[in-house]
Amino acid sequence: MTGFTEVTPTAPISADRHGGRAKCLQRLIRLDMPVPLTMALDFTSVRALAAGDMPDLDAMLTRFGPDPLVSVRPSSEDPDWGGPGALLNIGMNDRLYANLTESHGEHAANALYLRFIQAYAIHVARLDPDEFETVQVPTSEAVRAALETYEAETDERFPQDITVQLAEVLRSMARAWEGTTARLLREAKGAPAEAGLGLVVQKMALGVGRGLSGSGVIQFVNGSTGEREIRGRYLCKSQGRDALTAPADRDVLFLKRDPRGRSIEDVLPNNWQDLLRFGDLCRTRLREEMQIEFTIENEKLFILDAMRVARNSRANLHIAVALAEDGIIARDEAVLRVPPRSLPELLHSQVDPEGARDVIAHGIPASPGAATGRIVFSSRAAQALAAQDEACILVRSETTPEDIRGMHAARAVLTERGGITSHAAVIARGLGLPCVVGASDMRIDLKARTLTCADGRVFHDGDMITLDGTAGEALAGAAPMLEPDLGESFQRLLSWADAARDIGVRANADTPEDARKALMFAAEGIGLARTEHMFFNDDRLLAMREMIFANRTEDRRAALERIQPMQRADFIELFSIMRGKPVTIRLFDLPLHEFLPHGREGLRELAEGLDLPLSDVTRRAEAMREFNPMLGMRGVRLGLTVPEIYDMQARAIFEALVAVSETGDAVVPEIMIPMVSANREVEIVKARIDAVAAAVRIEQGVEFAYRLGVMVETPRAALRAGEIAPHCAFLSYGTNDLTQMTYGLSRDDAGRFMGIYVKQGVYEEDPFHTLDFGGVGELLTIGAGRARTANPSVTLSICGEHGGNPESIAFCRAAGFDYVSCSPYRVPVARLAAAHLAI
């Protein structure tokens, strides 16, 4: 048993035993491509080999005839998992060197032998690369010097026997695969810990002989755009992938007629026609865009290898759609070929390349897209600005898990330190936030709250900058932007995803701008409009504060009457934008004290605005302060304590509905009660809202419908869902608060120890990011089951941050949810992830 299998059309070769490369080569052979004789060694044999059990090489090598030269390439199950580099010209020795000098000329013989000695010395004998890599020009002196260096370093003659050479090459590749670094690298690409390596031994096509010889690569698609175009290079008298690294002034034949030089199309027209044909065969029969590695030996074409064209996310999507459009793959398969997490790269604004760029810092482009905002130096400041709907850019030396919420709040992140896998980079990519890390040419002074650039300019807290995460640069001011170009292919793929999926996707959107984005991304409606967010601007804030500070019911009513038209206008705008699509409006939730000003200055301004003595305002603000506001007077508790607020909101919703219905869009608003923990809360609020609806119907003389629902954010609401569901049309799980309350973990403070918890394996992940299936998930499942039993027609959904995460979507789908709702930019990800689950 040699462990080797000759790759023939009918040989029992499989990707999961011999690796992707071996399987691909078999496919090329089946398509009648001129692939040199190839032998595949399976995973088991390679594992045995690493442990010292060498297969019978002599028996295998007889298949290659006398004095063969062979190459060895890795063949992992998934080519993306990588593997050791290819080794060429195994079998070269002094005798063959002399023969080749005769038959192929001195230059070719020198090039081949030198290349082999160098590669063997560095990758197999593990000698110092500096000793060997300096020699570039293949002369006979260089060959002699390399052999002497080898002998001096190893005290052994350079091995002359192909069996010995091959054994060492195979052993070193098998061991390299077992090494810790290689293992970590492939695991980072998703390979399982026990991923196997196969090896392929292939007869060399030399590419360096007399006559027209050389090697090259060709592909038929652009790996950046996904557009069909022929790309690649061919280098005369070369081997392997030399053509890709050769300077243009060497004897490079451009693949197509090119003003810069001769074309392979002119020089080797038959080989060219064959290459085009093979490219086409790969596309139609292997159903993929492949890069073909080929060698021409004295005008005879050999196909050595073909691999999936390396591509970015945009090109990947474009290629998948084009293959489906051409009928080569099914639409569902095109959908499956695009990972949902690859979409954020396509979804973000970019700095207009035509606009002026005033670069103030350079770093590593860690997460694509661009955003403009005010500089903030702390997560707390980012959250404060975000709460006022102000865009900000979080600037830190580096981020830590404590910065998570600040990153959520910021539009982009810039760090002085860190690399592509630093905390900031990883988290920003996950959030789809533009991010630049390692911008070491700027200096941050946290005390002075300044950012100093290399040219000496100083930027302060609050100054406007633009972060270009695609280019890895920070720019002064608000740079001109281009909105994301979602393009035909994007829209088409997502429409196919929509046809396949069986769970709805809505967006969380509070502002008209968010709602427009939600529509742009084809959300089926708004699943959560947080109404308190509509009040964080100057005029409205004052009206709110007047309402909060009113001592008497009449005063409060008067203040609410001022607020009501503003709310009505908000809802008219949201309904108009959403044009008949469902809009879920959450009634006021925020703890009232969050509307109070902070610090003496703020209180004084408020006292002025309200024309009240400062002492009065301070006393009331003090009286309103709670020890634990997140568990205090918020949500429905406020709704029951100050019922005029919900009355006002309900009226604003119904009046807006009537106004918009007049323009022809049938709106059925969904009113959602937050922070429910008892059924009676729902009954009381429902009775009042019904009364407001009845009053508006009479006043306006118009009939309309609305749906009332409950936001399940407390464990009790989940457990009592069977009792609550009969009173409402829908239940939406607010998993942010539900996670907070299930764990008893403050969503605003957990960052302080979350890193330690995750590092020590107490929690596998931050449960505010990744839905905790075991605990919070169980509440979801229990609640969903009880709600459905009590009210089979109840609509179930999730609207916490987890709603856009593919794993949470899978969980909700399995629990029978009707839809998920997430921030607008995550809507396409959710649509695609949902389709992946259904296909």
Write the CB contacts of 774 (distance below 8 Å, at least 6 apart in sequence): none
In the complex with Mg ion, the residue whose CB is nearer, 242 or 737, is: 737
44-52, 131-139, 493-501, 729-737 -> range binding ligand PEP (CB under 6 A): 729-737
In the complex with ligand PEP, the residue whose CB is nearer, 524 or 737, is: 737
Selected from 736, 755, 785, 838, the binder of ligand PEP by CB under 6 A is 736
H or E stretch covering 290:
strand 290-297
Q: Is 554 annotated as a binding residue?
A: no
* Interface map 713-732 toward Mg ion (x if CB under 5 A): x-------------------
Q: Is 530 annotated as a binding residue?
A: yes
- H runs (alpha helix) in 662-797: 679-700, 715-719, 721-724, 735-743, 751-759, 776-790
- Give, rounded to a whole angstrom, the gap between the first and last alpha carbons of the chain: 42
Confirm whether 423 is a catalytic residue.
yes
- The three-class DSSP label of residue 245 is helix
Per-residue burial over 636-645, b if 16 or more Cβ lie within 10 Å, else e, is bbbbeebebb
* Selection from 209, 222, 114 nearest residue 158 by Cα: 114
* Selection from 485, 661, 635, 494 nearest residue 575 by Cα: 661
In the complex with ligand PEP, the residue whose CB is nearer, 397 or 736, is: 736
Catalytic residue (choose from 799, 802, 822, 836): 799
In the complex with ligand PEP, the residue whose CB is nearer, 71 or 797, is: 797
400, interface contact from Mg ion, ligand PEP, none, CB < 5-8 Å by kind: none
Q: Maximum CA pair distance of the chain? A: 108
7-15, 290-298, 328-336, 728-736 -> range binding ligand PEP (CB under 6 A): 728-736
> What is the distance between the alpha carbons of residues 169 and 61, in angstroms, rounded to a whole number?
14
149, interface contact from ligand PEP, Mg ion, none, CB < 5-8 Å by kind: none
Residues 695-714 that bind Mg ion (CB under 5 A): 713
H or E stretch covering 474:
strand 473-476
Residue nearest to ligand PEP (CB): 734
In the complex with Mg ion, the residue whose CB is nearer, 546 or 713, is: 713
User: Does residue 799 interact with ligand PEP by CB under 6 A?
Assistant: yes
Output the six-digit token pair for 170: 């195979």
195-203, 323-331, 731-739, 774-782 -> range binding ligand PEP (CB under 6 A): 731-739
791, interface contact from Mg ion, ligand PEP, none, CB < 5-8 Å by kind: none
Confirm whether 435 is a catalytic residue.
no
The Cα angle at residue 178 between residues 36 and 113, in degrees rounded to 5: 40
* Selection from 90, 92, 94, 93 nearest residue 167 by Cα: 90
Write the CB contacts of 654 (distance below 8 Å, at least 6 apart in sequence): 669, 692, 693, 696, 697, 704, 706
735, interface contact from Mg ion, ligand PEP, none, CB < 5-8 Å by kind: ligand PEP
Question: Least CB distance from residue 587 to Mg ion, whole Å?
Answer: 12
Residues 519-548 that bind ligand PEP (CB under 6 A): 528, 530
Burial class (CB in 10 A: 0-12, 13-18, 19+), 833: buried
Q: Is 2 annotated as a binding residue?
A: no
Q: What are phi and psi of 646, to 5 degrees?
A: -70, -35
Question: Least CB distance from residue 715 to Mg ion, whole Å?
Answer: 13
CA atoms within 13 A on the CB side of 699: 11
The Cα angle at residue 509 between residues 504 and 514, in degrees rounded to 5: 115
In the complex with Mg ion, the residue whose CB is nearer, 272 or 588, is: 588
- The three-class DSSP label of residue 362 is strand
Question: Least CB distance from residue 554 to Mg ion, whole Å?
Answer: 32
Selected from 172, 367, 415, 735, the binder of ligand PEP by CB under 6 A is 735
* Selection from 107, 101, 103, 69 nearest residue 87 by Cα: 69
In the complex with Mg ion, the residue whose CB is nearer, 7 or 673, is: 673
DSSP state of 85: P
Question: Least CB distance from residue 579 to ligand PEP, whole Å?
Answer: 24
In the complex with ligand PEP, the residue whose CB is nearer, 468 or 713, is: 713
H or E stretch covering 652:
helix 643-661
530, interface contact from Mg ion, ligand PEP, none, CB < 5-8 Å by kind: ligand PEP
Selected from 416, 737, 766, 801, the binder of Mg ion by CB under 5 A is 737
Q: What is the residue whose two structure tokens read 């007889």?
A: 62
* Selection from 721, 801, 745 nearest residue 528 by Cα: 801
In the complex with ligand PEP, the residue whose CB is nearer, 24 or 672, is: 672
Q: In sequence order, what DSSP letters do the residues of 367-398 get, joined into one string?
A: E--EEEEEEESSHHHHHHHHHTT--EEEEESS
Question: Least CB distance from residue 507 to ligand PEP, whole Å?
Answer: 12
Q: Which residues pair with 790 in a beta bridge?
A: none
User: Does residue 800 interact with ligand PEP by CB under 6 A?
Assistant: yes
Burial class (CB in 10 A: 0-12, 13-18, 19+), 360: buried
Output the six-digit token pair for 210: 């007399």
User: Does residue 734 interact with Mg ion by CB under 5 A?
Assistant: yes
Write the CB contacts of 559 (distance below 8 Å, at least 6 apart in sequence): 543, 544, 546, 547, 550
**Residue 279 in contact with residue 220, Cβ under 8 Å?**
yes
User: Does residue 226 interact with ligand PEP by CB under 6 A?
Assistant: no
User: Does residue 584 interact with ligand PEP by CB under 6 A?
Assistant: no
Catalytic residue (choose from 362, 408, 423, 727): 423
Q: Is 735 annotated as a binding residue?
A: yes
User: Does residue 821 interact with ligand PEP by CB under 6 A?
Assistant: no
- The three-class DSSP label of residue 601 is helix
Selected from 434, 734, 804, 806, the binder of ligand PEP by CB under 6 A is 734
How many residues make contact with ligand PEP (CB under 6 A)? 10
Q: Is 513 annotated as a binding residue?
A: no
> What is the distance between the alpha carbons of residues 567 and 695, in angstroms, rounded to a whole number?
18
800, interface contact from Mg ion, ligand PEP, none, CB < 5-8 Å by kind: ligand PEP
User: Does residue 510 interact with ligand PEP by CB under 6 A?
Assistant: no
Question: Least CB distance from residue 684 to ligand PEP, whole Å?
Answer: 21
Question: Least CB distance from residue 739 to ligand PEP, whole Å?
Answer: 8
137-145, 538-546, 664-672, 730-738 -> range binding ligand PEP (CB under 6 A): 730-738
Q: Is 734 annotated as a binding residue?
A: yes
Residues 763-782 that bind ligand PEP (CB under 6 A): none
786, interface contact from ligand PEP, Mg ion, none, CB < 5-8 Å by kind: none
In the complex with Mg ion, the residue whose CB is nearer, 360 or 685, is: 685
Output the six-digit token pair for 282: 């790969």
Question: Least CB distance from residue 84 to ligand PEP, whole Å?
Answer: 48
In the complex with ligand PEP, the residue whose CB is nearer, 586 or 836, is: 586
> What is the distance between the alpha carbons of residues 368 and 349, in angstroms, rounded to a whole number?
9
Selected from 524, 713, 766, 772, the binder of ligand PEP by CB under 6 A is 713
Write the CB contacts of 198 (distance below 8 Å, at least 6 apart in sequence): 17, 18, 19, 21, 22, 40, 41, 42, 43, 46, 74, 75, 76, 77
Q: What is the residue whose two structure tokens read 């090119």?
A: 258
Q: Is 511 annotated as a binding residue?
A: no
* Selection from 802, 800, 811, 819 nearest residue 837 by Cα: 811
Selected from 288, 403, 737, 766, the binder of ligand PEP by CB under 6 A is 737
DSSP state of 193: T
Name the binding residues for substrate. Answer: 530, 586, 713, 734-737
**Chain contacts with ligand PEP (rule: CB under 6 A):** 528, 530, 589, 713, 734-737, 799-800
Name the binding residues. Answer: 530, 586, 713, 734-737
Name the binding residues for Mg(2+). Answer: 713, 737
**Chain contacts with Mg ion (rule: CB under 5 A):** 713, 734, 737
Active site positions, annotated = 423, 799
